[in-house]
Amino acid sequence: MTAQAPSSWPAHASSLAGLVTLVTGAARGIGLATVAQLARAGAKVVAFDLSGSPWSELRSLGATELLEVEGDVGHGSDWERAISSTLERFGRLDVLVNNAGISGEIGPLVDCRDDMFDEVMRVNARGVFLGLKHGARAMMGRGGSIVNVSSVSGIGGGRYTVAYTASKHAVVGMTKLAAVELASAGIRVNAVCPAPTSTEMVFSMERSVSPADPEAVRRGMTRMIPMGRYAEPTEIAQLIVFLASDAASFMTGTAIPIDGGLKAG
């Protein structure tokens, strides 16, 4: 199959109406903001997150076409269950957002624990690999769009986050490979690369680096960002939703920084 240009050119939000979307790490942060925007655009949403996640905020969105699936993105059997539940409830899968991720501990490369490295790679890299594999299988024959959430740590070195940086580079590499392999099936694959964003992931990192003064960590981090602040989860979600939609119909294999100018410096 050749990836065709859409016959009409809808505004991107309306082009998502009625589409079946699956978001991992959906219960909070960037995932939750993405679910909110997808639901507002009229998409049906499958929200995939760990067992015991705080689902209450997601439920309070009031989305009627919402299916919650509890599972671990690093487990192939959980992906099989998530996809089969999606197909059973909604009949197809059009959009997959591989968003779930963990930061791991912050510290020098020479002190990085082997098991911590493995766990970050298991969730962030293996989790995206499994999502690409099972998600693309479900999209074969119809086409679709996959958005992977990498990071500015997926396009630069930084420091003190060797496991996270390795895993997010892996996400960018898999995005490019999948885009090429899946183009003829009409499946687009792109990545977003956010700078620090106001979510619990970053707040807990601030507390772990400086329990006595997490605000000082924030001041130091935002000083490096030309726009002088963290991103809001909604700002990242807007780019994810754009890439997921037909408004991005000729985009595939990209890894887009969304970083307040950080990577321009």
Ligand X SMILES: NC(=O)c1ccc[n+]([C@@H]2O[C@H](COP(=O)([O-])OP(=O)(O)OC[C@H]3O[C@@H](n4cnc5c(N)ncnc54)[C@H](O)[C@@H]3O)[C@@H](O)[C@H]2O)c1
d(CA 52, CA 27): 10
- Pick 15 or 71: Cβ nearer ligand X: 71
CB of 211 to ligand X, least distance (A): 19
Give the H/E segment covering residue 144.
strand 144-149
CB of 88 to ligand X, least distance (A): 20
Q: What is the DSSP string of 153-188?
A: GGTS--SS-HHHHHHHHHHHHHHHHHHHHHGGGTEE
How distant, in Å, are the alpha carbons of 78, 136, 252 from that of 194? 27, 24, 18
- Pick 15 or 32: Cβ nearer ligand X: 32
Report the interface residues with ligand X, using CB under 6 A. 24-25, 27-31, 49-50, 53, 72-74, 99-102, 123, 127, 149, 151, 194, 196-197, 199-202
| Token pair belonging to 239 | 């780019």
- Residue 151, SS3? coil
What does the DSSP 8-state code read for residue 230? P
Q: What residues act catalytically?
A: 164
d(CA 55, CA 189): 28
- Pick 136 or 170: Cβ nearer ligand X: 170
CB of 188 to ligand X, least distance (A): 19
- Pick 93 or 195: Cβ nearer ligand X: 195
CB of 55 to ligand X, least distance (A): 10
